Amino acid sequence: MTRPDRQTAEALAERLSGLDLTSRLNLIAAEIPGRLVFTTSLGVEDQALTHALAMAKLAAGQAKGRVEIVTLDTGRLFTETYDTWAETESAYGIRITAYAPERAAAEEFVRDEGINGFRRSVAARQACCGFRKVEPLGRALEGASGWLTGLRAGQSANRAETPLAEFDAARGLIKLNPLADWTRAQVDSFVRENFVPYNVLHDRGFPSIGCAPCTRAVKLGEPERAGRWWWEQEDKKECGLHVGRQVAHSAASVQPGQEPAVLEPAAFETIKTETHRQPEFAR
C-alpha cells in the first residue's frame, strides 16, 4: 500500500471482502503503514475485535504488535464498562490506552450547563460529546494512517452504508471496519464461542452501551441504538465520531437480511455461557 486515499481504500475494501476476521486484520496490518489505531468502546463488537487482534498477536506490546488499542474515557461511563476494561486487559495481557477530556473544557461545560446539561438541547449534547469524545478522538488518531472500528452496517440507519474500508478525507487516513458486514447474531456467537469477556449490561437489555446518563435499556421491537440519546430524533443520534463518510466501496454495505436490527425476543437471551469469565488465556 502506498498512501491513504480513496482509491487505496476501495482496493483494500475489495480485498477484505470474503476474508475471515483474522485474515482481514492480518491484511490490514500488512497493508497500512505507520500508526494503526483501534478505538474500542468496550461494547460487544469491539470486544470481538480486541479478541481477534490479541489472538493474532497484533495488539501493541504483542509479538506482531501493530495496533494500538485505545478508548475514550469520557468520565461518564458505566461502572460495568470500567470493569470490562480491566477484565479485558487482564484476560489478554494488554493495555488499553485512555484518552480523557481536556480538564478546562470539562470544567467549563459543567459550570455553564450543569452536570447533566447535555439534556437541555441537541446542541448542548453535541457540545458534551465534542469535548468528551470528539476532541480526545482527534488526539488519539493524530499521525495515524489507519483507524480500526467495530462499526457494523446493521447497527442503525445512520450506519447502513458502512464499508469494510473507506477514505476519511477529513483525517487523512483509511478507516477500517472489519465487522461491517457482520450481523449482531454473528458477533454474539463469536463472543460466546470464544469466551470473550464482555460488558454484563449486554445481558440486561443494553445492545449498545455508551455513557451512563445517555444510555438506557431497549424494549422488545426497538432498534439496537434506540437506547442511545433516546430523547432525540433518530437522525440526530450520532456522537460525532463517525461522520463525514465517503464510501469507498459499497459491496460491504448493508445487504438484504442485514438491515438495521430490530430486537426480537431471541436477542434478549444472554450472550453468556457459564465460562463467560475466562481469565488470562491469550497471553
Give least dist CB 98 to ligand SF4, A: 15
Residue ranges that bind ligand SF4, judged by CB under 6 A: 74, 76, 118, 125, 128-129, 132-133, 210-211, 213-214, 239
For ligand SF4, the closer CB: 158 or 278? 158
Q: Which residue has the cell 443494553?
A: 206
Strand 144-148 vs strand 173-176: parallel, antiparallel, or unpaired?
parallel
Query: Which of 253, 44, 225, 235 lies closest to 166, judged by CA?
Result: 253
Give least dist CB 259 to ligand SF4, A: 25
Query: Which of 158, 150, 180 lies closest to 250, judged by CA?
Result: 180
Give least dist CB 127 to ligand SF4, A: 8
Give least dist CB 133 to ligand SF4, A: 5
Give least dist CB 116 to ligand SF4, A: 8
CB 35 within 8 A of CB 68: yes
Strand 97-99 vs strand 67-72: parallel, antiparallel, or unpaired?
parallel
Give least dist CB 211 to ligand SF4, A: 3
CB 159 within 8 A of CB 242: yes
For ligand SF4, the closer CB: 18 or 213? 213
For ligand SF4, the closer CB: 125 or 202? 125
Report how far apart, in Å, the C-alpha atoms of 2 and of each of 9, 66, 108, 186, 248 are.
Answer: 11, 17, 43, 33, 16
For ligand SF4, the closer CB: 126 or 194? 126
Query: Which of 245, 110, 238, 88 lies closest to 167, judged by CA?
Result: 245
The residue number whose beta carbon is nearest to ligand SF4 equals: 211
- What ranges make up the beta strands (E) of the chain? 35-39, 67-72, 97-99, 144-148, 165-168, 173-176
* Other C-beta atoms lying within 10 Å of the C-beta of residue 280: 9
Question: If you count them, how many residues does the chain have?
Answer: 283
Active site residues: 239
Instruction: Output the nine-digit C-alpha cell for 93.
Output: 495481557
For ligand SF4, the closer CB: 146 or 210? 210
For ligand SF4, the closer CB: 20 or 108? 108
Q: Which residue has the cell 437541555?
A: 120
Strand 35-39 vs strand 144-148: parallel, antiparallel, or unpaired?
parallel
